[in-house]
Amino acid sequence: MNDGRAPIRKADVLKQCTISLGESLRLLDARFTVTRDVCGFVMEFLAHVNKTDIALGFDIMEPQDGVQIQIIYAGDPNATFSVTGTCVGADEPKRTDSSL
């Protein structure tokens, strides 16, 4: 979520935001809900040998815009994954856990 006061534009992305699943996990599906369609949020699956990354992108994230991503995978239910990316003037991406 953009908790700041200024919009974050596609041009402000210094390092693409990605979610990386560990080698022991198999991605089955991923879905997202975005606060507003105008954000232009997109998700792309990048398969590597023994690893899957999910690349994230957007056109603009204005204050209070955000995205919720659900990842469905096969593997250890306690497995961890990493979230990386850098935007001008923004903190690192945050991961929150929620139980259904």
**pLDDT tens sequence for the chain (100 residues):** 666 788 999 999 999 999 998 888 888 999 999 999 999 999 999 877 667 889 999 999 999 999 999 999 999 888 888 889 998 877 777 666 654 4
Number of domains in the chain: 1
Q: Are residues 13 and 85 in contact, defined by beta-carbon separation less than 8 angstroms?
A: yes
2 within domain boundaries: no
Domain, as residue range, for 79: 8-86
Stated pTM of the model: 0.79
98 within domain boundaries: no
Tokens of 58: 């957007």
78 within domain boundaries: yes
92 within domain boundaries: no
95 within domain boundaries: no
63 within domain boundaries: yes
CA atoms within 13 A on the CB side of 17: 23
Residues 6+ apart with CB under 8 A from 71: 19, 21, 27, 29, 30, 54, 81
